[in-house]
């Protein structure tokens, strides 16, 4: 497994197409912006967040950024749905095709067995499961975003246009409820992404310090074999999928991925530290 350029040729498998990668960049950017500007409001009593607010230009600017990022969120959500529809249409398959198969993100029985197997592996009572295209925690991440956008998005819209929604007949106290849901669900999302998602995907010892595949799109076939044996097997058996094998991503892309990725990771980690600090010292 020596890293010579000859060996790299044709050895990289494209896990994510450009469109998905672009959407994930949108997700990352808007999510971090929402997280920062949202936590500023949530922890407005904390001096750290007050300073952060002032650094960003005050509550009016952070409020604008928050709403702007919210729009970006709704946009990528729409783009992703469109992406799914196009995918179905391209294959001329039914909607249900999204629900089954190796490529589906819908949890199934296999995920449950893998979860149990993983637990056994964790405690040393079994081998590492033969993970496929999507592990159960990746599926959880995916649906967390779906759930998050639905819950945080809808409650956020109520908070954004309270007069409109109450005009439709929503009681005023629902604005209060929306506040609690919006804020705590956001705390859940931020807390989850900046700790568990970061660990599961980037900080775990075999990937540390980060996995750039979401930005470069490509993973070395040996790494894939190690990480997702089942997917590797499927690729090896399917010549159609083998077309996705290619050369290593260009240097500039790898470098850009590292810079962007590290920026995002660092921002997230700092934010989570600030949140924990504020929760411990200011909301006793």
CA dihedral 259, 264, 265, 268 (to 10 degrees): 160
59 forms part of the interface with other proteins (CB under 8 A): yes
The residue within the footprint of other proteins, chosen from 124, 237, 239, 252 (CB under 8 A), is: 124
Specify the residue, 21 or 278, whose C-beta has the smaller distance to other proteins: 278
159 forms part of the interface with other proteins (CB under 8 A): yes
Element (H, E) at 142: helix 136-160
CA 26 – CA 156 distance, rounded (Å): 19
67 closest CA partner among 25, 38, 39, 45: 38
Specify the residue, 45 or 101, whose C-beta has the smaller distance to other proteins: 45
185 forms part of the interface with other proteins (CB under 8 A): yes
Distances (CA, A) of 233 to 15, 29, 141: 14, 34, 24
| Least separation in angstroms between CB 37 and other proteins | 11
42 forms part of the interface with other proteins (CB under 8 A): yes
The residue within the footprint of other proteins, chosen from 8, 9, 54, 273 (CB under 8 A), is: 54
How many residues lie near other proteins (CB under 8 A)? 51
What percent helix, strand, coil does the chain show, rounded to 5? 75, 5, 25
250 forms part of the interface with other proteins (CB under 8 A): no
CA 244 – CA 235 distance, rounded (Å): 9
Residue 219: alpha-carbon gap to chain centroid: 18
The site for other proteins (CB under 8 A) is made up of 1, 40-42, 44-45, 50, 53-54, 58-60, 62-63, 119, 121-124, 128, 137, 159, 162-164, 166-167, 169-173, 175-177, 179-181, 184-185, 187-188, 191-192, 195-196, 199-200, 204-206
């Amino acid at each position: 497994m020596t890293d010579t350029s000859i060996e790299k040729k044709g050895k990289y498998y494209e896990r994510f197409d450009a469109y998905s990668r672009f959407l994930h960049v949108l997700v990352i950017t808007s999510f971090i912006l929402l997280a920062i500007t949202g936590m500023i409001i949530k922890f407005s009593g904390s001096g750290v967040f007050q300073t952060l607010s002032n650094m960003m230009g005050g509550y009016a600017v952070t409020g604008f950024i928050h709403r702007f990022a919210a729009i970006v969120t709704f946009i990528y959500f729409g783009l992703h749905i469109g992406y799914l529809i196009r995918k179905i249409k391209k294959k001329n398959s039914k909607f249900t095709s999204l629900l089954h198969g190796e490529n589906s993100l819908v949890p199934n029985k296999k995920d449950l067995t893998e979860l149990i197997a993983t637990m056994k592996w964790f405690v040393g009572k079994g081998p590492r499961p033969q993970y496929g295209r999507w592990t159960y925690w990746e599926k959880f991440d995916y649906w967390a975003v779906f759930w998050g956008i639905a819950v945080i998005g809808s409650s956020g819209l109520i908070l954004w246009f309270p007069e409109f929604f109450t005009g439709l007949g929503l009681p005023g106290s629902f604005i209060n409820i929306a506040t609690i849901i919006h804020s705590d669900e956001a705390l859940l999302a931020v807390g989850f992404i900046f700790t568990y998602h970061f660990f599961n995907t980037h900080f775990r010892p075999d990937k540390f310090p980060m996995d750039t595949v979401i930005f470069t799109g490509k993973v070395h076939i040996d790494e894939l074999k190690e990480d997702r044996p089942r997917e590797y097997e499927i690729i090896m058996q399917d010549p159609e999928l083998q077309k996705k094998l290619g050369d290593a991503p260009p240097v500039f892309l790898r470098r850009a991925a590292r810079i962007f990725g590290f920026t995002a990771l660092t921002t997230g980690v700092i934010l989570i530290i600030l949140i924990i600090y504020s929760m411990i010292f200011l909301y006793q």
